[in-house]
Structure 1
Amino acid sequence: MTGLRFVDVCAGAGGLALGLEEAGFTPALLLDKKAVACATLRLNRPGWPVLEMDLLDFSPQQHRDIYDVDLLSAGLPRVKSSATSARTETGDELRLLDATVYLAHALRPRALLIENVPELALAPSFKVTREAVRSELNHLGYEFDWFTLNAADFGVPQKRLQGFLVALDRQHFSAFRRPRPTTLTPRSVGEALLDSMAARGWQDAERWAAGARSVAPTLVGGSEMRGGADLGPAGTRRAWARMGVDGRAIADDLPGPDFHWQPDTGQGGMVRITIEQAALLQGFPADWKFAGKKTARYRQIGHASPPPVGRAIGQALRAALTGSETSRAGYTSTP
């Protein structure tokens, strides 16, 4: 597992970068404009080269050591599903997509990976955007693939559809294979959180877990302009309520031995999940820490790309770039 370097822009809390690291890639630079995200990256990986800067202001000429990277990756802010196909009417999210493609023009990595909403890969409303990307990448000598994955197929206890663009130089593209699911049976919320729910002696932890048999709804970080940390809009909260979880807020601590779980009495009798449990549902390891106050920490988690999905795509890219059968076998395994 040696030799492959990557630049990650809009790195956020490091979910995609962590997955790529687990797949054998070494970061040459991680860039994000938010101070709290950069603090999270430095907190967990003090040796990672982290730069706090807006991608729209980034000049690669000032970082000459990144010109020989193998991969440029980007977990871009979510484009709005209602975006029109007219390029003049798109917002900052699509300008960041343009900036990522232009950065690939400057760096000429052997591979490019962009993660976003599935609509960007599939929806007719983004056809003009995809055509612009196609034209530029073809001009640069890349071949590419748009596709979607569900994080639940990769051991993440959450229904989370993600859209991906993978591009490689023509020498390596024919060897690329989309990641195949690593699990046949999705991991449930109850299975993922049982140990933590029981950690402070909550008597009903096993009974709760037995009823929380489905994967979590998609965790949503929310807008910087809206209120505090919660588990999403009304429809999402109803899905949580069916698992005996109150989605109106994030708990400050795990339930203790005196907590009486009575979901039939309404939200007051339901359990709430903590920031750390939300991170587990996003596929982060238990020892990954998040900087900032409660709402900022939750938003980083909700906006993150699940590390297990990043690892699966990283292994697929590594197999294509190195011709490694070991890497290829890594992303076709069963749990």
Structure 2
Amino acid sequence: MGGLTFVDVCSGAGGLALGLEQAGFEPRLLLDDDEQAVSTLRANRPQWSVLHADLLDFDPSEHPVSYDVDLLAAGLPRVKSSATVGRADSRVEERLLEATVYLVHAIKPRAVLIDNVPGLAHSDEYQQFREFAHAELTHLGYKFSWFVLNAVDFGVPQNRRQGVLVAVERQRAGAFRPPMPTVKEPMTVGAALEASMASRGWKDAARWTTQADRPAPTLVGGSRNRGGADLGPTGAKNTWATMGVNAHTVGDVIPGPDFEWDPELGRDGMVKITVEQAALLQGFPETWEITGRKTARYRQVGQATPPPVGRALGRSVLAALNGEE
């Protein structure tokens, strides 16, 4: 069996969809409520059917192409944190999780894949959703697995833990196995960005590469209700500082030959990561274009599922649907 199909909701910049495509799936329909994300998807894959719509308002009966697919995938926004509990962002995320499960009733895919924060798989904070998903999906004839993956185990130069739900039709569920790591040694920030940092003649690129000798902390895209782009909370910023990176902002351009890199001078002496470089740290190919203004572009990148993780998950689901033990 080949050419399996999928619907992807909350598609964002397309990280999960790209990974699934690389694994051998063919997209029937993608949707996102963010105009810039839709623009990104259409810029990179003009042949994909991309719908600008809110998942909470999506009616599959108006889009019959979404029926009879092999996989329903959802890389839902990663905005849940102690800082967002009680805010509107927090409840929206919960509603998107529930809406994805309800959508299973309508389109009846052979498998379901939901990717979100690591707490989705085990945290008390998500216990109510797990019970809801268990009741709904068991009733519909699925068996499922909860597990946590770290993107760094799949060649992504970033420590990024993800909580994953995979549900497969009961008769094929026994063949599903969570993906195993694809690399033995983690890729470092320096190794991932060395060529990029040197591309405009920056004389300290090689020296910086040596100092950037570890994977990146988790990139955080933030929500549309918050201000400018940065590389994450205080702990992440401190880790970036040890690599000589000013994580309090996102750079506009890669350093040129005149940039003096001296982290001892503070932020002004540190290098900044650009949106394009952040995309490389998420495992996107260099050719993947992120559209929009800087903050909107970085938000798309930070919210994305790294494509190598999507590819690994897709291959595991594909093996189960093809009955490969």
**Class of the TM-score when normalised by the shorter of the 2 chains:** over 0.9
d(CA) in 2 for partners of 1:272 and 1:66? 42
- Three-state SS of the structure 2 residue aligned to 1:30 is strand
The equivalent of 1:69 in structure 2 is 69
Rounded to whole Å, the distance in 2 between the matches of 1:167 and 1:17 is 18
Counterpart residue number, 2:215: 215
Contact 1:79–1:94 (8 Å) recurs in 2: no
Question: Where does residue 136 of structure 1 map in the other structure?
Answer: 136
Provide the secondary structure at the position in 2 that maps to 1:312: helix
* Deviation at residue 166 of structure 1 after TM alignment: 0.1
Q: Which residue of 2 aligns with 1:6?
A: 6
Moved more, 265-274 or 163-172: 265-274
How far 1:231 moved relative to its partner?
1.1
Paired AA for residue 255 in structure 1: P
User: Is 1:263 equivalent to 2:246 in the alignment?
Assistant: no
* Residue identity matched to 1:10: C
Contact persistence 2:113–2:165 (CA under 8 A): yes
Q: Residue 195 of structure 2 aligns to a residue in which SS?
A: helix
CA distance in 2, matches of 1:3, 1:18: 15
- Structure 1: which 5+ runs fail to align? 326-335
> What value does the CA root-mean-square deviation take over the aligned residues?
1.7
Distance 1:223 1:173 in 2: 35
Aligned counterpart, 2:287: 287
1:21 CA drift (Å): 0.2
**What corresponds to 1:331 in structure 2?**
none
Whole-angstrom CA distance in 1 between matches of 2:165 and 2:146: 5
| 1:1-335 alignment, distance < 5 Å | 2-78=2-78, 80-82=80-82, 91-324=91-324
Work out the CA distance in 1 between the residues paired with 2:208 and 2:80. Answer: 36
Q: Which letter maps to 1:172?
A: R
Query: Separation in 1 of the partners of 2:77 and 2:3?
Result: 29
Letter in 2 for 1:158: Q
Q: Larger deviation: 184-193 or 224-233?
A: 224-233
Contact 1:79 1:116 in 2 (8 A): no
Shift of 1:234: 2.2
Residues of 2 paired with 1:35 and 1:181: CA distance?
A: 34
For residue 51 of structure 1, give the secondary structure of its aligned residue in structure 2: strand
Superposed displacement of residue 146, structure 1 = 0.6
Identity of aligned residues (%): 62
State the Cα distance separating 1:235 from its structure 2 match: 1.9
Distance 1:167 1:79, change over 3 A: farther
Normalised to the residue count of structure 1, the TM-score between the two structures is 0.93
Partners in 1 of 2:309 and 2:228 — Cα distance? 27
Distance 1:37 1:163 in 2: 22
